[in-house]
Structure 1
Amino acid sequence: MNDVRIRSMFAGEEGQVSELVLKVFMKYVAPGYPGSGVAEFRKYASPEALAERAEEGNMILLAEMDYEPVGMIEVREESHICFFFVDGEHQGKGTGSALLREAIALCNGPDHLTVNSSPNSVQVYEHLGFTATDTEQEKNGIRYTPMRLDLG
């Protein structure tokens, strides 16, 4: 974990970040989604969509090792995690926890964070202190469980 650096995404890095997100999504999440959900996710994870959300004020942080992104977190309105992905080789090594801690530190004091967790990530979010606020749902082929982390 010592070799991982957390920093903001720079304009022009959206392609690299999109590749990372899609690589992790296709391996770990997509197998549990219908084709419509995979297509919907691909649109949301495109470099253009990432750039647009960054311009609208979403915070996008990268975890990088040897100048290559190995993880990312995107937070909307300082209170909702839109994306949170860590490359498989770096999972379970503290990279995700470091990303979450930095995102919380950079937000202006929210009392909680929310996330719509994919089915395979619910246990990871629980490990990070989140609790489910509802049962699993599906929208446009995207399966998720609404979760919340109280910070206060």
Structure 2
Amino acid sequence: MQIKPLKYHEKNTAMELVWTTFLKFEAPDYSAAGTQHFKAFIRDSRAIGALDMLGAFEGSVLTGLIALDPARRHISLFFVDERWQGQGVGRQLFDCLAREVPHCPITVNASPYAVPIYRCLGFTPTAPEQLTNGIRYTPMIYRREK
């Protein structure tokens, strides 16, 4: 498994992985409006282009990705292809990202599906579940132990 920054030409493939995985695991928890809002976000080339993205590759196959809004130290996207879930891909992606932003807390708005995953990575909730634009999420934070 190789973790590396995604190149511009790889981002379309990355968004296909995001959309397919979202539909299977997260969309069932969202309203139609929430699903449409998410779809609009991943199709917004300006928003996606502003994110720092790391991809996990097995050979030339993208198996997962994590995307950080560098200004806010906020995870905007974190998806692993269904066939690669449970094999440590997400952990490797997060660990690599965390090394790139040492000494800074990292935040995320975790979907209901992802809350247990983020807890395993060391995140804690900062507020109860919320609903914005049809998207359900729990604000969470990761703080490194000193």
TM-score range, shorter chain: over 0.9
Contact 2:42 2:48 in 1 (8 A): no
Moved over 6 A (4+): none
Number of residues of Structure 1 aligned to a counterpart in Structure 2: 144
- 1:1-150 matches, cutoff 5 A: 4-46=1-43, 49=44, 51-53=45-47, 55-56=49-50, 58-77=51-70, 79-107=73-101, 109-150=102-143
Alpha-carbon offset, residue 14 of structure 1: 1.8
Alpha-carbon offset, residue 55 of structure 1: 4.1
Residue aligned with 2:113, SS: helix
The AA in structure 2 aligned to 1:19 is E
Q: Structure 1, residues 24-51: CA drift from partner, whole Å, max 9, x if none?
A: 00000001111000000001112xx2x4
Counting aligned pairs with the same residue, the percent is 34
Q: Per the alignment, do residues 54 and 18 of structure 1 end up closer, same or farther by CA in structure 2, a change over 3 Å counting?
A: closer
Q: Which runs of 5+ in 2 are unaligned?
A: none
- The whole-number CA distance in structure 2 between the counterparts of 1:45 and 1:119 is 19
Residue aligned with 2:23, SS: helix
Contact 2:34 2:133 in 1 (8 A): yes
- The whole-number CA distance in structure 2 between the counterparts of 1:104 and 1:62 is 14
Q: Which runs of 5+ in 1 are unaligned?
A: none
Alpha-carbon offset, residue 52 of structure 1: 2.2
Alpha-carbon offset, residue 53 of structure 1: 3.5
User: What is the CA RMSD across the aligned residues, in angstroms?
Assistant: 1.4
Higher mean displacement: 4-13 or 20-29 = 4-13
Contact 2:54 2:93 in 1 (8 A): yes
Q: Structure 1, residues 76-99: CA drift from partner, whole Å, max 9, x if none?
A: 126110000001111111100100
